[in-house]
């Protein structure tokens, strides 16, 4: 049986190279084409020695493929994708260019006018756990951002069940790889090491994704979200801690309410392979290198507030692994095919 041919646009970024690593061992697809402007003409294994088992040369143009992953930066990705869609190639876009449904959100949050606004309603937001049936029939999937993945999955059961009030706080801490591979003073070792900093306090670009998707879960609730990301001195991982006030009477008061909350979350995710509701506050190390999400919901009994913690690997479930999860669903494969490895520990 012939394998499905897939390609990566911009393999030289962190998401692109992580895609190459995971796809190289996928049992039912073949990675046949990788592009990258700065490294065009060089063997992939020379640019990334850990991928020397992949016999491909980086090119400027994508070859003949059935499905392509775009790991281009925002604004640039849409330009690459639109011509490929016209050729009948299925797309999983890791950039932000097709995540938001409102065309006016792009100049507001990303400082550009979208070149294909007619595609925004067609594009499926690829948080597979919430949009699986839509992903299965899609030709264009917008892979969620790393921060939204952890935040949306953390709050989805509570929002869907209507057990929290609209005011939501999302506090996320990310490793430096989330900033990408481009050199920057802010991610220089001497600047980041032994330091923690908050940024984008006026509003992070991932905020509209979080708001958009949580709003779809409960028509009777309009979320009012404060989202503050932090940069911490590690390579991989996002730990999100979320807070919201519980609606009185939805859960039993006292310790029994904690058990009811945990069961609500477990029921919501009972059929999900990659989401695990756990009995302990998760660490980012527990998911490093894997496509799994660990979620720990609890209640601050003193304040009557939901506290929910999620941990993901920002390069896997937050980018490349989730993209392959979406590809698997789009192509009718088992959802976990090629991405079922446990976390690296320690």
Report if residue 137 sits inside a domain.
no
Q: What is the CATH number of the domain that holds 151?
A: 3.30.360.10
d(CA 314, CA 322): 10
106 and 167, same domain (yes or no): no
Q: Burial of 94 by CB count in 10 Å (0-12 exposed, 13-18 middle, 19+ buried)?
A: buried
134 within some domain: no
Kindly state whether residues 112 and 154 are assigned to the same domain.
no
Domain that holds residue 232: 147-314
Phi, psi of 255 (to 5 degrees): -55, -30
Residue 15 lies in a domain: yes
Q: Is there a domain that residue 83 lies in?
A: yes
Give yes or no: 146 in active site.
yes
β-sheet with 238-246: strand ranges across = 197-198, 224-231, 164-174, 238-246, 305-312, 293-300, 275-277
Q: Which pLDDT score, from 0 to 100, does residue 179 have?
A: 83
- CATH number of the domain at 98, please: 3.40.50.720
168 in the same domain as 118: no
Is 294 inside a domain boundary?
yes
What the block records as the tokens of 200 is 């984008």
- Rg of the chain (C-alpha set): 20
140-142 β-sheet, strand order: 58-59, 29-35, 4-9, 67-70, 90-93, 140-142, 124-125
* Longest alpha-carbon distance in the chain: 64
Is the domain of 154 the same as that of 118? Answer: no
Do 100 and 153 fall within a single domain? Answer: no
Mean pLDDT by 10 residues, the chain (346 residues): 94 96 97 95 96 96 97 95 97 98 96 96 98 98 98 98 98 92 83 94 96 97 97 96 98 96 98 98 98 98 97 98 98 98 93
Q: If 0-12 CB within 10 Å is exposed, 13-18 middle and 19+ buried, where does residue 4 land?
A: middle
Two tokens at 61?
């143009």
Same domain (yes/no): 79, 154: no
* 324 within a domain of the structure (yes/no): no
Distance between CA atoms of 207 and 166, rounded to whole angstroms?
Answer: 15
Buried b (16+ CB within 10 A) or exposed e, 301-315: eeeebbbbbbbbbbb
Tokens 């909350």 label which residue?
261
Q: Residue 295 pairs with which residues in a beta bridge? A: 277, 310
What's the CA gap between 323 and 339, in Å, rounded?
10
> How do beta strands 29-35 and 58-59 pair?
parallel
Are residues 75 and 37 located together in one domain of the fold?
A: yes
Nearest CA to 321 among 343, 346, 296, 305? 343
Of 9, 62, 146, 161, catalytic: 146
> Is 200 in the same domain as 307?
yes
Q: Is residue 236 part of a domain?
A: yes
Number of domains into which the chain is organized:
2
142 in any annotated domain: no
Quick one: 78 and 179 in the same domain?
Answer: no
């Amino acid at each position: 049986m012939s394998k499905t041919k897939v390609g990566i646009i911009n393999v030289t970024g962190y998401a692109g190279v992580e895609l190459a690593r995971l796809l190289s061992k996928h049992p039912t697809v073949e990675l046949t084409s990788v592009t990258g402007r700065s490294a065009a003409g060089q063997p992939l294994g020379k640019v990334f020695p850990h991928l020397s088992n992949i016999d491909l040369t980086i090119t400027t143009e994508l070859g003949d493929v059935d499905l392509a992953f775009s790991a281009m930066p925002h604004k640039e990705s849409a330009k690459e994708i639109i011509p490929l869609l016209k050729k009948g190639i299925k797309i999983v876009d890791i950039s932000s260019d097709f995540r938001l449904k409102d065309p006016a959100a792009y100049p507001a949050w990303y400082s550009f006018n979208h070149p294909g606004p007619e595609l925004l309603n067609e594009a499926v937001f690829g948080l597979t756990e919430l949009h699986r049936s839509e992903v299965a029939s899609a030709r264009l999937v917008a892979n969620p951002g790393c921060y939204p993945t952890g935040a949306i999955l953390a709050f989805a059961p509570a929002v869907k069940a209507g057990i929290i009030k609209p005011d939501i706080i999302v506090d996320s801490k990310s490793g430096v790889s989330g900033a990408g591979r481009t050199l920057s003073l802010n991610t220089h070792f001497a600047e980041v090491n032994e330091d923690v900093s908050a940024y984008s306090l006026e509003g992070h670009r991932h905020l509209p994704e979080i708001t958009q998707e949580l709003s779809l879960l409960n028509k009777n609730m309009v979320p009012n979200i404060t989202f503050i990301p932090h940069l911490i001195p590690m390579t991989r991982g996002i730990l999100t801690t979320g807070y919201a006030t519980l609606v009185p009477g939805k859960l039993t008061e006292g310790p029994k309410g904690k058990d009811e909350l945990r069961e609500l979350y477990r029921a919501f995710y009972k059929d999900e392979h990659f989401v695990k509701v756990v009995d302990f506050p998760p660490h980012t190390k527990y998911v490093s290198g894997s496509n799994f999400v660990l979620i720990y919901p609890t209640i601050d009994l003193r304040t009557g507030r939901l506290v929910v913690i999620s941990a993901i690997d920002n390069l896997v479930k937050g980018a490349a692994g989730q993209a392959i999860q979406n590809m698997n669903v789009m192509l009718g494969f088992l959802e976990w095919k090629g991405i079922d490895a446990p976390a690296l520990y320690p």
